[in-house]
Structure 1
Amino acid sequence: MDANMHENRGAFPVDRPVEALLRDHNMVRKLVETYRNSQSLEVKQEAAPQILMLLDMHSKLEETVFYPAVRKLDPSLIGHFEEEHHKADDLVQSLQSMTMDDPQAEQMFQQLIDMTMHHIQEEENDFFPKLEQANLDMTEIGLQMQAFEANLVHMQAKASDQSMRR
């Protein structure tokens, strides 16, 4: 995720980590809308890598910290989300190694977008309300998510810096 994308998110709400996930969801929606509503190859080529990077980071955050921490609320639903993530992660990885002018890339990207939008809707409509009703103290989960995300951003910046030096 580029620095601007991270800065636009503001401080991580450690006591309300679902808000951070919702912000990611909204950012994905905006980028997808830009991608889908543009006929410009240039705009699509700019939006697509941002979407892929955001999905990659968001997915790692949920898989590594969030899902394990909230699994007990609905193990089967979390299992379903993890399956969806694995399919999306495979597509993200494939797409990151392709150029967007590859004929397969557009079809795969559309599949990823459709899967992602469905997944976001399920999380927001089916799971987040359950989580809210459970009345858990989310601060510890939020602190873990904040630390994990900060480390991801640091690693991404480091990788970006190294690739620019080559």
Structure 2
Amino acid sequence: MPPPTPYENAIDLLDADHKAVKQLFIQYDALCEDGAPAEDKQQLAEKICNEIAIHAQIEEEIFYPEVRKATGDDALIDEAQQEHAAAKEAVAAIQGMSAGGEGYDEAVQGLARLIDQHVLEEREQIFLQAQYAALDLRGLAEPLARRKAQLKKKSAPKKAKEAA
């Protein structure tokens, strides 16, 4: 039997991700203000991009389908998935840039604004609807946490190879 998830429910887990990524963006801004080396900013930007990719994937694979089924609100989930697509495009653009290059910081800060807007809408709309729907949010926390751990483990060896 897998260990219990440290989250009360699916929304707590997803919102913890939101808060963690927000903190990473704050750290990135601090690096910019301090004139940190490009490689430090790139490492942090890669971590941000990885966290966003994992978060989006668990929402798209597990959370959004369940919310869609429970609420029947296709338009709301479709919009959230379009926002994810925009974030993925921004992530790909950042990953294709040089951290020391022109526009890199602006691209990361643009991603931060995209994510802030998405999180606000998700909290005010999707999470709210999910809380009032016939949806087992407690039960969803475990598969979300398990899938997140799988994705993190899968992305870790790639990072270790790149560092070598």
Tell whether the structures are fold-level matches, with TM greater than 0.5: yes
| Identity between Structure 1 and Structure 2 (%) | 26
Structure 1 unaligned residues grouped into runs of 5+:
1-10
Determine whether 1:59 maps to 2:56.
Answer: yes
Moved over 4 A (4+): none
For these two proteins, the number of residue pairs brought into alignment is 155
Distance 1:36 1:77, change over 3 A: same
Q: Is the 8 A contact 1:14 1:138 kept in 2?
A: no
Structure 2 unaligned residues grouped into runs of 5+:
none
Distance 1:161 1:30, change over 3 A: closer
Q: Is the 8 A contact 2:5 2:145 kept in 1?
A: yes
CA distance in 1, matches of 2:160, 2:112: 29
SS in 1 for 2:140: helix
CA distance in 2, matches of 1:53, 1:139: 25
CA distance in 2, matches of 1:121, 1:21: 13
Counterpart for residue 152 of structure 1: 151
Q: CA RMSD in A?
A: 2.1
Q: TM-score, normalised by structure 1?
A: 0.81
Distance 1:106 1:141, change over 3 A: same
Q: TM-score, normalised by structure 2?
A: 0.82
CA distance in 1, matches of 2:23, 2:53: 16
CA distance in 2, matches of 1:45, 1:158: 18
Q: Is the 8 A contact 1:61 1:145 kept in 2?
A: yes
Counterpart for residue 25 of structure 1: 18
Q: Is the 8 A contact 2:131 2:137 kept in 1?
A: no
AA in 2 matched with 1:161 = A
